[in-house]
Structure 1
Amino acid sequence: MSDKPTTIKEIAKLLDISVSTVSRALNDHSSIGLITKMRVKKMAKELNYEPNQRAIQFLQGKSNTIGVILPELAESFFSAAISGIEDIAYQRNYTVLLAQSHDDADREKLLIEKMKMQRVDGLLISVSKTTNTYEHFEAFKKSNIPIVFFDRIPPVKNIHFVASNLESGTFEAVNFLLKKGHRTIGMINGPTNLVASTERKNGYIKAMTSHRLKFDPSLMVNCDLTEAGTIESMDNFLNHKRKPTAIVTFNDYVALFAIRYARSLNIQINKEIDFVSYANLPLINYMDFTPIASVEQFPYKQGKKAADILLDLINKPKSDSDTEPAYYNVVVESELIISKDK
């Protein structure tokens, strides 16, 4: 016996019928009689025939694969998001091709090219924190391969995206601190190129002005989200003439870095300085000193919704219309989760 897979041609030759008849019989085409279908399927079973999925996908113009590019899978936030994506992909019979940019823009660009070479039907991506140009997404657009951005979305028009409402989440977080009596509130924000950083800034300003307090730009610093960057931001605040009594950090990881550094300086956490963060990740339950509140961004829900939109776009009938396509812009409401012991 040969190890070479059985082909439709071999079945056709053994049964002395055409290749097209074999193909139609295997696919239960109405033009093929019952007896012929039974003969073909019996022979296919005896020869252990298996359909050539690559050939089928080529003919259909689909690979039934979606690409996903994340900044860091090690982060609980993105692990939860990929779980939501995979659950939807599994339900709709799609395979997920996963890659990590490790928050590097050049790596992200290379991965975009590789995803296209792998002939993915569509792409889900959360952009890296160092991405500040977006031309590399144009290759997908020109090839009519849909892209849905989620969580970290680029500041460009006419895109499909799913993201958390961070402006309202920040308003809630700062308002919570103001109600606790804080008036000098610092913010360790993210890189300026991220839409999420702008939303945090806007929410902060709205909360302060709603309490008739003047916005002090020196109490907001942009950080690269690393531990070293967080320490630099903390030093900025600790040496500030208006030393903050509360600090809002870009996410729970930045909160961890900031709290650990403050403790090394013998600062009493949530007594001398209160901390509020974002993401409400499981890791905060294992910290000796936790933020007093964290903004829940629902990553699993974001991932599910983004995957659903992408698969709808992939399977949407192609239109000959020249009208501008509608873009999915889905905003998931955030929620401030207050620590139980606060």
Structure 2
Amino acid sequence: MEINKVTIHDIAKALSIDSSTISRALNDSPRVKKKTKDRILHKAQEMGYQRNLLASNLRKNITNTIGVVVPRISRHFFSSVIQGVEETAYQAGYNVIICQSLEQLEREKKIIETLMANRVDGVLISISMETMDYSHMEALKNGGVPLVFFDRHCNIPDTNNVLIDDFKGGFDATQHLIVSGCKNIVHFSGPQALGIYKKRLEGYKAALSENNLPFREEYVISSRLMEQDGIENVKKIVTDNLDFDGIFSANDVAAIGAIKYLTNNNVKIPEDVAIVGFSNEPISTVINPALTTIDQPGFEMGKTATDLLLKYIKNQNGIKKSQTIIMDSNLIERQSSKKVRARNI
């Protein structure tokens, strides 16, 4: 059964008042007397009238909606970012459309097309592992849609970014393993096309160099950093007979895969191999032994990225220059790396 929506013309007919006056009253115009306005509002509520905010906003060329694109909602870091985004957007009167690329470029492109078709006021995005073609991002930019990258970003000139200090995170993780007595540290890296994994690798290299330890290409293994990748990576270094006593993984998920494989094969952690992850997923406290990790402030990143996006949407103070905000990270030590300190550094 089709339900007919109440219009301003229905209210006008019920009250024998001109529809233009009804419209002004519903928009809280000072041109309508309070007594008349109260009467109109009461009748509108009584008849179940609902304003068509979408049509109203489109007439003003705004939708009060922002799009958020993440690789995977299931990852704790990204869900924390979304919480920060939603809280900040809600307080500013904006709705949020949440999409996930599932680490697929083509899916990401279709999402951007859909967001543009729905005329969102701005977009927050952390790109997929496959994203090396930036044409869809250029389309957003050329279409005048404000865009802020967070965590993972594109090398496009004059774009806004909110990022973690990935170099420092990689350095701190590796330095921690060295201080714990490790001398042969394997690094599980993500795709080097992504800036975050490049920076974490650079931090790893810098810590080795500072401690006069050699960098060896064969000790760096790149993958998509899923749990199974962590298992396969450990199998590879064991098969290749690499002498290793530490692992720095560019995310927690692959590190957990490594822990499971090693413990199932009677390798003691951290006595034989110390392990550090990155991102502080909730499971990192549950796995045995609990995983030392680099914590990322997801909620704060979501708030900061949304604040930055809203400034550009509103063009406060005539903002023209792009901004890159770097947020700090910190190491959380747990049982997976608590060896007896062998070096005083």
Same fold, TM-score > 0.5, yes or no: yes
**What does 1:129-208 align with in structure 2 at a 5 Å threshold?**
129-208=129-208
Q: Residues 188 and 222 of structure 1 are in contact (CA less than 8 Å); yes or no, is this contact kept in structure 2?
A: yes
Partners of 1:134 and 1:114 in 2: CA distance: 16
Structure 2 partner of 1:303: 302
Deviation at 1:314, TM superposition (A): 1.8
Partners of 2:207 and 2:45 in 1: CA distance: 69
1:277-300 deviation per Cα after TM superposition (whole angstroms, max 9, x unaligned) = 111221111112233x21111111
**Residue 28 to residue 226, structure 1, CA distance change in 2 (3 Å):** closer
Structure 2 partner of 1:248: 248
- Aligned residues, how many? 336
Deviation at 1:14, TM superposition (A): 4.8
Partners of 2:316 and 2:80 in 1: CA distance: 31
Structure 2 partner of 1:236: 236
Deviation at 1:25, TM superposition (A): 2.2
Secondary structure, aligned partner of 2:93: coil
Paired residue type of 1:277: G
Secondary structure, aligned partner of 1:182: coil
Structure 1: runs of 5+ lacking an equivalent? none
**Residue 171 to residue 51, structure 1, CA distance change in 2 (3 Å):** same
Partners of 2:224 and 2:37 in 1: CA distance: 64
Is the deviation greater in 251-260 or in 81-90? Answer: 81-90
Partners of 1:12 and 1:116 in 2: CA distance: 37
Partners of 2:240 and 2:179 in 1: CA distance: 23
Structure 2: runs of 5+ lacking an equivalent? 339-345
Secondary structure, aligned partner of 1:108: helix
Q: What's the C-alpha RMSD, in Å, of the aligned pairs?
A: 2.2
1:18-60 deviation per Cα after TM superposition (whole angstroms, max 9, x unaligned) = 4333222222222333444344334434433221112211122
Secondary structure, aligned partner of 2:268: coil
Partners of 1:131 and 1:267 in 2: CA distance: 37
Secondary structure, aligned partner of 2:331: strand
Structure 1 partner of 2:343: none
Secondary structure, aligned partner of 1:336: strand
**What does 1:320-331 align with in structure 2 at a 5 Å threshold?**
325-331=320-326
Structure 1 partner of 2:280: 280
Deviation at 1:17, TM superposition (A): 4.8
Partners of 1:173 and 1:8 in 2: CA distance: 63
Partners of 1:295 and 1:240 in 2: CA distance: 28
Structure 1 partner of 2:341: none
Paired residue type of 1:308: D
Report the TM-score when normalising by structure 1.
Answer: 0.90
Q: Residues 70 and 126 of structure 1 are in contact (CA less than 8 Å); yes or no, is this contact kept in structure 2?
A: yes
Secondary structure, aligned partner of 1:330: strand
**Residue 125 to residue 77, structure 1, CA distance change in 2 (3 Å):** same
Structure 1 partner of 2:311: 312
Deviation at 1:200, TM superposition (A): 0.6
Partners of 1:332 and 1:265 in 2: CA distance: 38
Q: Residues 125 and 149 of structure 1 are in contact (CA less than 8 Å); yes or no, is this contact kept in structure 2?
A: yes
Is the deviation greater in 97-106 or in 20-29? Answer: 20-29
**What does 1:80-91 align with in structure 2 at a 5 Å threshold?**
80-91=80-91
Q: Residues 155 and 194 of structure 1 are in contact (CA less than 8 Å); yes or no, is this contact kept in structure 2?
A: no
Partners of 2:234 and 2:157 in 1: CA distance: 35
1:210-249 deviation per Cα after TM superposition (whole angstroms, max 9, x unaligned) = 1223322221121121344333322332244541210101
